[in-house]
Structure 1
Amino acid sequence: MAVDLLRDFDPFDIFDAEAARLDRFFSGLDESGWQRPSRCAGWSVRDVLAHLAGEEMYNHACLDGTVQDLMTRLTIEGVAGFNDFNEWCVRQRRRLPVEEVLTEWRAQNGDTRRRMRELGRDARIDTMAGPYPNGLQAFHYDSEYATHADDAGVPVTDEEADDRTLWRVAVGRFVLAEQEAKVQVEQTAEYIWVAVNGTTATLSYPEFVEATVGRLPASHQVDPRVAAALRCLA
């Protein structure tokens, strides 16, 4: 089963580690650091923080069982769809002092992580797709945090890098299987082999991760059809 790919990883430990990495990085930024462009088109590093703070509205609604209430509220606000929600969250916080946004994110995300850990992997929580296992939702958040940390240029130590890549490969493979993506993926000790409608590619582990989150550079030589088929977490 696809979920077996995640068996050896603790989603709550990963969530804590990725949040702590972001917090250390954010805590050391000066004004120029906050204004530096991120990999997210049109977003500065400050905007990445605003996005993370804002999406806690959804995370808490999942835990509170009030996702539909949140969707109704957003519709009244003129917000349609997740991309619109993300931009709305950023706009709402652009005029606030960055220290206030950082404090908001720390408190709200800390509460999310605590509550999810207390619930455990097998509990089911409310999501836009309906009831979903809490542990699997945490893995989605893990990927979100790791991706945005990379977007913002958060450093990762050599000691952490390999293990971090391994769990991200596992999450990417799981989500592709969960979504029943029309792509064949085989993992060896050194690389990932991919096939899409007769087109094949061999990717390193980091390249595979970047493909699953839609961050392969335009200059990469992988066939665009393969890149599109692998994008499942962004």
Structure 2
Amino acid sequence: MTSASDPLAGLDPFDIFDTEATRLDRYFSSLDEKAWNRPSRCEGWSVRDVLAHLAGEELYNHACLDGDIEGFFEMLEREGVRGGFVDFNEWCVRKRHGLPVEQVLQEWRDKNAETRERMRALGRDATLGTSAGPYPVGLQTFHYDSEYATHADDVGAPVGDEEAAARVEWRVEVGLFALAERGSDVQVERVGRQLRVRVNSATVDLSPADFIEATVSRLPAEHPLDRHVRSALRCLA
């Protein structure tokens, strides 16, 4: 049973994961060749590359579920991937570059559906082996939720008006949790519809949308937010 003191206790990570995966699948299924090759918000990646990344990272997700993190890193060593998860992500994209996009889409659909089913079956209070050590399944799923929502925005997957407000709210809550989890000295309080952020001597008010973008390192370069505050808020990317 999840503790009542859990700041994310009122959210269901598995339902959110299903929703964001469905959003991406629905959007990917609608694309033509021109749209697949359109640049995404991920620097250097097309929309197709984002799909390849999502498909490839299921290798890690399944290694966690299978209790085989050691085998996962042994595989990366054999493949010559030695730059941590940054190089792993690029490798995932390269490995699928020459494959038909329909094949990559089906790979992602199948593997992610299994990930979501197995995570839900374990339950949020179970423990999962990760590269950082044992970690609660529910919290790991919230990290996946944030990643999927971020990549959905990266490729321009639509968000309906009827769901937008609730989506912003859960993403703010996950961002606040992630800052606390990493022991950040960032202080955040709600002031009306804004989030007041204090980092050392700096105090700024951000909209919920800008706060989310800061936590996932997606604020545009021209945004006036101080670079030190921007760096301090990055916790989900």
TM-score range, shorter chain: over 0.9
Does the residue aligned with 1:193 lie in a helix, a strand or coil?
A: strand
Q: Spell out the pairing of 1:164-203 with structure 2 (5 A cutoff).
A: 164-203=167-206
Does the 8 A contact of 1:125 with 1:133 survive in 2?
A: yes
Give 2:139's aligned amino acid.
L
> Does residue 37 in structure 1 map to residue 39 in structure 2?
yes
Does the residue aligned with 1:125 lie in a helix, a strand or coil?
A: strand
Unaligned runs of 5+ residues in structure 2 are none
Shift of 1:189: 4.2
> Does residue 157 in structure 1 map to residue 164 in structure 2?
no
Q: Spell out the pairing of 1:90-169 with structure 2 (5 A cutoff).
A: 90-169=93-172
Q: Which runs of 4+ in 1 moved over 3 A?
A: none
Shift of 1:45: 0.2
Q: Output the CA distance in 1 between the equivalents of 2:5 and 2:133.
A: 18
Cα deviation digits, residues 172-216 of structure 1 (max 9, x gap) = 000100000121111244111111111111000000000000001
Give 1:192's aligned amino acid.
L
> Does residue 64 in structure 1 map to residue 71 in structure 2?
no
Q: Output the CA distance in 2 between the equivalents of 1:167 and 1:24.
A: 21
Does the residue aligned with 1:217 lie in a helix, a strand or coil?
A: coil
Q: How many residue pairs get matched?
A: 234
Does the residue aligned with 2:130 lie in a helix, a strand or coil?
A: coil
Q: TM-score, structure 1 length as denominator? A: 0.98
Q: Output the CA distance in 1 between the equivalents of 2:235 and 2:8.
A: 16
Does the residue aligned with 2:92 lie in a helix, a strand or coil?
A: helix
Shift of 1:76: 2.1
Q: Output the CA distance in 2 between the equivalents of 1:189 and 1:198.
A: 22
Unaligned runs of 5+ residues in structure 1 are none
Give 1:77's aligned amino acid.
E
Q: Output the CA distance in 1 between the equivalents of 2:5 and 2:46.
A: 35
**Cα distance 1:3–1:230, how it changes in 2: closer, same or farther (>3 A)?**
farther
**Cα distance 1:180–1:215, how it changes in 2: closer, same or farther (>3 A)?**
same
Does the residue aligned with 1:131 lie in a helix, a strand or coil?
A: strand
Give 2:207's aligned amino acid.
S
Q: Output the CA distance in 1 between the equivalents of 2:216 and 2:204.
A: 17
Shift of 1:75: 1.6
> Does residue 221 in structure 1 map to residue 190 in structure 2?
no
